[in-house]
Structure formats: structure tokens, C-alpha cells
């Protein structure tokens, strides 16, 4: 959160230490979490009754049951925040003087639940009982989610009462006109109503702004666009005014409340704007006229949650490139960066898809952990965890480990399933606190015993964390017992004061590693499986331990052999023939990133 809140948080912690046994009865569990820099959120959508309720009904007991099931499951999985969509389409999940009851709640617009039941109030109270934050998520501009809904709006709907503030877009759906001052004030009044009546922890808006560049607002521009050289700049200013307006209302009500936006993952491509990301996708700056980068720089938000809904390595919009870009955007600001992640995409049945299984989300979360600017994440959507037990189990494990402050010597990584030679450490070692029941326990303990891997200050091995290229080189050099070569010339992209600078220079001089391009090594990038095997193969070559010729036909047993880069074919073929590599679910997965557990097991196999 913002600096003032961090100072307040420190005061709060001291107060708790002094008066732990004298807490007033009205202090809720989630107060401590409100200032956490490990935001672990899940989106719960109400539009089309996607996640809440399970079916439209006026029955208050059924609505309560659905809410409790969601909150209990979120708590069980280790989330600390629920982002509930309370206004999805110019409607409300609470009794409002401004908006009608949502048809996605009771089945008919304007129809209230039985016995004056208030879903938002219930969610807030029950979330706080469980130590969860509850952020109220609104869609500010969308009036109808389907064209057919235009004719079914009730006479009490503000869009019917103020048609001069609306535009029916080319997609057939109706929107508030962002350029109409009356529409903007109505939306802000709606935010004010929520904050006046509910003890929510924050307000969040999503990525629906202008629906496209062909929005029919030329007449509005002619009326209100004085001083703007283009309609595009005027549109962006309209959105800026709303965002700044919500921020001001939130902090006028309570300086400890927070306001965040979850925009599209791409602000602008650098081919369009030099400040943009190395991507080739739809741009929120030019398509939706949403200057999300500007909101961060101007301090219009407390947190930003870009929706980076693509996989690591995707050619049009690489998750890793966008993560780095957003880290640069928030760097030096008081705005917290949380990452919006596509849990809904996991479970693809195509084994060649990066979204096959649940490993992509794991890789992404562990990549987040390598970035000090990332303070948390939010998963879309809740129903994905309800439908996929493997994903729910993974999320529970990931949520148990804080994102920030792990103080690792080597960066963490994700799990793997290489062939495992039975290993028993020769001497007793102190078990890491997070290895009990983990398949890698004997391998990681053996590697720790030999000084090849190290835990963090909290005695954690972090077996399921991803590992950087530089840190795997450190492991190899320790295994080979190679001392640093003083004066060795390093890579151009390695800072002289980096903790791995001398080791990488040594590895370069002895031919253990090559650069990725132009004398660069990309030390902070996560290491791929094929690069891990290639480095180890070169290490064995240096020790004259490669026995016999390498038969590259060993790759033929794997359907993804064509994904192996030519430089890695000998290494992967050799380790396959030596049974040191068995693949992952029948695949080599050469471009996937490696983990501490996977690296430790592989190196243990080599030592054996």
C-alpha cells in the first residue's frame, strides 16, 4: 500500500505487541492482513451468475450457503482476499437507492432476495470472521452484458432514466458515455454509497472502459472536448477523471481503505510507444483509452493488478516480459503491484499446450517471487478452483509461502519428476522445515549436506521454487569444487557487485557456460530444463566423464523432441541414455523452467 499506510502498519504492529491481550472486541482478524504485502486474492464474478450465486434465486438461505461455501474454500486454499463483483452491469448485489437488484442474483432485475437479505453485508461480515479481506469489484461503464438485455431494463434503471448519458456500441451492448459529466458523477455516487454502508476493505474496478475506438461519442466530444487536440486524448482524460475521482472518494472516507484497478495486461506495445512493452497485442491505452501506466505514475491508485493472462514464452505477449515491464512501471512509486493471473486457462487437454495440467500457474507464481516489486497476485477465477482439485491443491501450497522477503541465497523454483536414484545422506543433516512429505527430501538434504544447495534464513529449502540461470551455475561450481578465477572477464549484463559475478566470470572462462547473445548471459532469467542439462553436460565434459559417443536418436522416444534446440540435443540425448532424465508425463518439456527440487534430484543422480 502507500507509504503512509506502511507507517501506520508499523505503529499497528507495535501496538499489538504491547496490548495483545487487551484488544477491543470490534477488531477483526483481517485488520492485520489489510497492510500485508502478500496479497493473495481470488475474483468472484456475479455477471451471468458465473461464480455467485450457484443459481439465481430469491431464497436467502441458498444465497447464504453459496457465500459461505466460497469463503470457506478461499480460506482453505490460503487466499487472504476475495474480490467480489458487486456491480457487474448497472445493477447491484445489495439494496441500493441508485441501482436495481441484479438479475444475476435473483433472476429478474429489481427483484430483491427474501427477508431483506443483503449479500454484500453478509459477504463482508463472513469474510472478516475468516480473516479475509473483502474488496468490492464494480464494472463502472457496462450497462448491459448482452444486446438482448437492452430491452429488458426496468423503468428504475438509471440508464432508462438518463438515456442521454448512454451509448449503444457496435457490439450491441449499452454503456455509460465516459464523456458525460452526469454519468461520471452517477458512478462516483455509487462508489460513495458502498463506502457509506459497508465495511469493505477496498474498491476495485476492472478492465472495461471504452469498448472500442469506434465509440459513438463525436457529439459529446464536440460539446465537452474544448482544449483537447484529439478525441483520443479527451477520452483518456475522461477515464482519468473517473479513476482519480474514485481514489479521492475512497481516501476521503477512510485513509486506510484502498482503491485498485485491474486493467488489460498490455498498456501499449513498444512498436506503438517506446515506453511500451515488447508485445504485439491489444493495447489498453489505444483501444480502451485507459492510461493504466499514467495512473501508477500519477498516484491515482493504491494498487494495480494487470491481467497478464498469457503463458511464459507466448510470442505475442510473454508473461515474463510483461511482468518485468510492470515491475519497471511501479518501481519508485507508492503503488503496489499485484499480478492478475489466468487460473481459468489451466487444464488444457492438449499435452503440447503450456496450459496442460497446472504447471503454468506454478511457474508464473514462482516467477513472481523473484521480483521484489510484486506484492501479490489475484486469480481469475474462483470457479477454476472449484472445478479442478489439482489446481486447488497447488494454490494451497503456493499460498502458504510468502511472496516477498524469502532471503534466499539461490532463487527458488518449481517441482519436477526426473528419474530418481534412491539416496540416503551419509551423515545426519538438519531437515529443512518445508520438506516433510515432499518427494525431494532425500535429494535436497544430500545436496545441502554437500554444500551444493543452501536454505534461507528461515531454514526453508523451497523445493517448488523456480531457479535463475545464475543460481544453477553456482550449484554446478559447488558440485565441481571449482574456485573463482581472479580477474576473469565476465558477461556484459552481469553487474560487478552481483553476488554471482565472480562465479559467472569463472564459468565463462572455463567454458562451462555460453552467453545468450552479444556477450550477455541473462543471469536473472529462469533456467530452462534444456539449459540446465546443457550446463551439466559441459561440466562432465570438463571432468572427462562423458563416456562413449552420444546417440541423438534417444530423443526419438519423446513426442516433443522438435522443441529441443540444436545446442542442447547432445546433452539431453546423453542424459536420457544414462537414465538421468526420464521426462515429465512422457514429455521432455525442454523449454519449461527448472526447480530447486528438480535441479537437486538431477545433480544427485550425477553424483551417484
CA 293 to chain centre: 17
Q: 203, 261 in Cβ contact below 8 A?
A: no
What does the block give as the cell for 278? 515488447
Domain ranges of the chain: 3-399, 441-607
* Per-residue confidence (pLDDT) for residue 495, from 0 to 100: 85
Contacts 24+ apart (CB under 8 A), 422-426: 423/604, 423/608, 425/449
Q: What is the DSSP string of 340-357?
A: EE-GGG--BS-TTSTTBT
Under-50 pLDDT residues of the chain: 1-36, 404-419, 428
Q: 370, 525 in Cβ contact below 8 A?
A: no
* Per-residue confidence (pLDDT) for residue 74, from 0 to 100: 97
At residue 331, φ and ψ (nearest 5 deg) are -60, 130
* Per-residue confidence (pLDDT) for residue 547, from 0 to 100: 77
| Ranges of H-type helices in 510-590 | 529-542, 569-577
Nearest Cα to Cα of residue 464 among 429, 442, 434, 421: 434
Which are the contacts of 285, defined by CB distance < 8 A and separation ≥ 6?
A: 236, 267, 268, 273, 276, 291, 292, 293
Q: 291, 285 in Cβ contact below 8 A?
A: yes
* Per-residue confidence (pLDDT) for residue 9, from 0 to 100: 38
Q: What is the DSSP string of 230-264?
A: SHHHHHHHHHHHHHHHHHHHHHHH-TT-EEEE--B
> Which residue is listed with cell 515506453?
275
Distances (CA, A) of 358 to 233, 254, 342, 379: 41, 39, 11, 13
* Three-state SS sequence of 63-130: HHHHHHHHHHHHHHCCCCEEEEEEECCCCECCCCCCCCECHHHHCCCCCCCHHHCCHHHHHHHHHHHC
Total number of residues shown for the chain: 608
- DSSP 8-state code for residue 436: T
Q: 475, 453 in Cβ contact below 8 A?
A: yes
Architecture of domain 3-399: Alpha-Beta Barrel (3.20)
Q: Which residues of 34-54 are buried (b: 16+ CB within 10 A; e: fewer)?
A: bbbbbbbbbbbbbbebebbbe
The whole-angstrom separation of Cα 83 and Cα 81 is 7
> E-assigned strands of 421-493?
none
Question: Which is it for strands 133-138 and 166-168: parallel, antiparallel or unpaired?
Answer: unpaired
* Per-residue confidence (pLDDT) for residue 19, from 0 to 100: 34
Q: 283, 272 in Cβ contact below 8 A?
A: yes
∠ CA(121), CA(5), CA(320), 5° rounding? 90
Cis check for the bond before 441: say yes or no (omega within 30 of 0): no
Other CB atoms within 10 Å distance of the CB of residue 310: 24
Write the burial class of residue 367 (CB in 10 Å: 0-12 exposed, 13-18 middle, 19+ buried).
buried
> Which residue is listed with cell 487460473?
343
Other CB atoms within 10 Å distance of the CB of residue 103: 21
At residue 133, φ and ψ (nearest 5 deg) are -75, 155
Q: How many helices (H) and strands (E) does the chain have?
A: 20, 10
* Per-residue confidence (pLDDT) for residue 555, from 0 to 100: 87
Nearest Cα to Cα of residue 165 among 220, 244, 211: 220
The whole-angstrom separation of Cα 342 and Cα 363 is 12
pTM: 0.67
Q: Which residues of 235-269 are buried (b: 16+ CB within 10 A; e: fewer)?
A: bbbbbbbbbebbbebbbeeeebbbbbbbbbbbbbb
Write the burial class of residue 355 (CB in 10 Å: 0-12 exposed, 13-18 middle, 19+ buried).
middle
The whole-angstrom separation of Cα 70 and Cα 74 is 6
Question: Which is it for strands 166-168 and 174-176: parallel, antiparallel or unpaired?
Answer: antiparallel
Amino acid at each position: 500500500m502507500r507509504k503512509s499506510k506502511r507507517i501506520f502498519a508499523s505503529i499497528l504492529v507495535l501496538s499489538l505487541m504491547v496490548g495483545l491481550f487487551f484488544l477491543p472486541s470490534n477488531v477483526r482478524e483481517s485488520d492485520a492482513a489489510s497492510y500485508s504485502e502478500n496479497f493473495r486474492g481470488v475474483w468472484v464474478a456475479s455477471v451471468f451468475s458465473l461464480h455467485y450465486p450457484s443459481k439465481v434465486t430469491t431464497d436467502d438461505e441458498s444465497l447464504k450457503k453459496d457465500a459461505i461455501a466460497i469463503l470457506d474454500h478461499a480460506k482453505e486454499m490460503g487466499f487472504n482476499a476475495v474480490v467480489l463483483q458487486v456491480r457487474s452491469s448497472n445493477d447491484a448485489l445489495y439494496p441500493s437507492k441508485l441501482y436495481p437488484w441484479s438479475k444475476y442474483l435473483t433472476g429478474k432485475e429489481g427483484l430483491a432476495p427474501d427477508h431483506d437479505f443483503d449479500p454484500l453485508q453478509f459477504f463482508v461480515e463472513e469474510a472478516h470472521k475468516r480473516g479475509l479481506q473483502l474488496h468490492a469489484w464494480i464494472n463502472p461503464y457496462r450497462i448491459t452484458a448482452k444486446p438482448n438485455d437492452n430491452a429488458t431494463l426496468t423503468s428504475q434503471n438509471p440508464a432508462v432514466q438518463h438515456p442521454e448519458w448512454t451509448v449503444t456500441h457496435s457490439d450491441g451492448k449499452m454503456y455509460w458515455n465516459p464523456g458525460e459529466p452526469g454519468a461520471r458523477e452517477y458512478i462516483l455516487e455509487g462508489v460513495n454509497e458502498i463506502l457509506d454502508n459497508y465495511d469493505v476493505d477496498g474498491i476495485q474496478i476492472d478492465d472495461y472502459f471504452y469498448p472500442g475506438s469506434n465509440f459513438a461519442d463525436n457529439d459529446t466530444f464536440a460539446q465537452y472536448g474544448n482544449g483537447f487536440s484529439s478525441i483520443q486524448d479527451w477520452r483518456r482524460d475522461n477515464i482519468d477523471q473517473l479513476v482519480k475521482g474514485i481514489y479521492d472518494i475512497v481516501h476521503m472516507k477512510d485513509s486506510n481503505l484502498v482503491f485498485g484497478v485491474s486493467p488489460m495486461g498490455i498498456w501499449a506495445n513498444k512498436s506503438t510507444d517506446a515506453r511500451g512493452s515488447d508485445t504485439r497485442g491489444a493495447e489498453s491505452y489505444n483501444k480502451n483509452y485507459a492510461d493504466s501506466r499514467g495512473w501508477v505514475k500519477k498516484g491515482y491508485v493504491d494498487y494495480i493488478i494487470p491481467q497478464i493472462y498469457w503463458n511464459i514464452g507466448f510470442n505475442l505477449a510473454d508473461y515474463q516480459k510483461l511482468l518485468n515491464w510492470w515491475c519497471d512501471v511501479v518501481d519508485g512509486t507508492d503503488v503496489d503491484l499485484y499480478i492478475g493471473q489466468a487460473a481459468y486457462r489451466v487444464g488444457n487437454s492438449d499435452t503440447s499446450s503450456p496450459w496442460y495440467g497446472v504447471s503454468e500457474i506454478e511457474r508464473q507464481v514462482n516467477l513472481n517471487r523473484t521480483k521484489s516489486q510484486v506484492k501479490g497476485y489475484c486469480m481469475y477465477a474462483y470457479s477454476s478452483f472449484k472445478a479442478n482439485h489439482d489446481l486447488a491443491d497447488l494454490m494451497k501450497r503456493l499460498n502458504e509461502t510468502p511472496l516477498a522477503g524469502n532471503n534466499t541465497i539461490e532463487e527458488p523454483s518449481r517441482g519436477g519428476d526426473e528419474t530418481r536414484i534412491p539416496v540416503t545422506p551419509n551423515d545426519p543433516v538438519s531437515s529443512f522445515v518445508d520438506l516433510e512429505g515432499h518427494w525431494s527430501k532425500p535429494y535436497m538434504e544430500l545436496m545441502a549436506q554437500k554444500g551444493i544447495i543452501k536454505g534461507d534464513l528461515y531454514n526453508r529449502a523451497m523445493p517448488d521454487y523456480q531457479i535463475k540461470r545464475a543460481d544453477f551455475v553456482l550449484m554446478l561450481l559447488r558440485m565441481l569444487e571449482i574456485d573463482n578465477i581472479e580477474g576473469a572477464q565476465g558477461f556484459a549484463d552481469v553487474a560487478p557487485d552481483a553476488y554471482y559475478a565472480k562465479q559467472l566470470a569463472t564459468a565463462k572462462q572455463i567454458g562451462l557456460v555460453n552467453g545468450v547473445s552479444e556477450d550477455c548471459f541473462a543471469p536473472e532469467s529462469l533456467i530452462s530444463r534444456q539449459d540446465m542439462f546443457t550446463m551439466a553436460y559441459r561440466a562432465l565434459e570438463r571432468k572427462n566423464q562423458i563416456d562413449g559417443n552420444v546417440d541423438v536418436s534417444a530423443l526419438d522416444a519423446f513426442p516433443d523432441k522438435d522443441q529441443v534446440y540444436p545446442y542442447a540435443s547432445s546433452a539431453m540425448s546423453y542424459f536420457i541414455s544414462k537414465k538421468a532424465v526420464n521426462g515429465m508425463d512422457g514429455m521432455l518439456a525442454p523449454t519449461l523452467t527448472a526447480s530447486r527440487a528438480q535441479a537437486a534430484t538431477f545433480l544427485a543422480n550425477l553424483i551417484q
